[in-house]
Structure 1
Amino acid sequence: MTIATAFAAPTKFSTSNAEMRIRVLNLYRRYLRHSRSFVNNYDLDVPASQVKTKVRQEFERHRFVDDLAVKNVLYMKAQMEFQELVNFWKQTCHVMKYFEPYQSYDNTATDSFVQKFLKGTS
C-alpha cells in the first residue's frame, strides 16, 4: 500500500536556471532509482535498462527549452507523472504507451481496418 502524499512535491516556481537544473537532475535520479520498481509493479515486459533509456529520452526531448516558465511547467508535469507511477495510479497499458514507436501513428495507409479502429483513426 502506498501513501498518496509520500512522493508529493510542493508546487514551487524556480526563479533561476541553476535552481531548475538542480531540481530536474534530482527528479531524473528519482526516476532512475525507481525504474526497477516500475517494471515490477506494472509487470512490464521490458527490462529496467530499457525503462531507464526511455526516461533519459523523455528528459532529453526537452533539454534545449530556454523559457524558464515553460521549464517550470514541464517539471511539474514530470513530477506529477512520477507520483502517479510510484503510487500505482496508472494501468500497465498507460505505461506501455511510452514504449510504442512514434512512427506507428503515421502508418494509417498500411494499417488494417482493425488497427485503424483501435487507434481511433477510421
Structure 2
Amino acid sequence: MNNKITNILPKVSRVVYSQNKNESRQKVLCLYKRFLRKIPNIIELYANLPLTYNAYRNKIREEFTKNKSVSDIRAIDMLIHRGENDLADLLNLWKQGCHVMNYFKYTENPKPKDFMGKFLSGSTSSIQ
C-alpha cells in the first residue's frame, strides 16, 4: 500500500504548465505586459515611495532580463508563478513600502579594496 502512495506523489508534484518553449515565452511576455500595465496602480498604491514610472519600468525590465538565460520549461513556469504572486502581493498591498524598496537596492557588487579580496576575485591589475 505504501508503494502506491509513493508512486502517486512524485507524479502529482511534477506539474508543468507550459507544453513547449513558445508557450512559456508567450506567458512570460504576457506577465511582462501585465506588470507594465499595472505600474500606474502600483505608483498610486505606494504613493509615499520616491519612485517614478521609469524607475519601476527599468526595474521590471532588469528582473526579466536577469532570468533571460533560463531555458528549462519547469524553471520558467516557476518564475512565472513567482512573478504572478509578486504582482498580486503588490496590488493587494500585502507588501509594504520597505518590501518594494528592497527591489531597488544597489545591485552591483562592490569592488574589493583589500589585497585578499582582489586576489580572490581574480583582479590582478593592481597587484604588483
Which one of 91, 94, 111 corresponds to residue 96 of structure 2? Answer: 91
Task: Supply the distance in 1 between the matched residues of 2:110 and 2:74 (Cα, whole angstroms).
Answer: 30
Gaps of 5+ in 2: 1-14, 115-128
Task: Supply the distance in 2 between the matched residues of 1:65 and 1:55 (Cα, whole angstroms).
Answer: 17
User: Using CA pairs below 8 Å that are at least 6 residues apart, which structure has the higher relative contact order?
Assistant: 1
Contact 2:20 2:73 in 1 (8 A): yes
1:5-25 superposed Cα distances (whole Å, 9 cap, x missing partner): xxxxxx971111111111111
Which one of 17, 22, 32 corresponds to residue 26 of structure 2? Answer: 22
The alignment covers a number of residue pairs equal to 98
Which one of 68, 74, 85 corresponds to residue 80 of structure 1? Answer: 85
Aligned to 2:126: none
Contact 2:28 2:80 in 1 (8 A): yes
Q: TM-score, normalised by structure 2?
A: 0.69
Higher-Rg structure is: 2
Superposition CA RMSD, Å: 2.2
Q: TM-score, normalised by structure 1?
A: 0.72
1:63-113 superposed Cα distances (whole Å, 9 cap, x missing partner): 111111111111111111111111111100000111110247888x9xxxx
Gaps of 5+ in 1: 1-10, 110-122
Is 2:66 the counterpart of 1:61? yes
Identity of aligned residues (%): 31
Which one of 37, 42, 55 corresponds to residue 50 of structure 1? Answer: 55
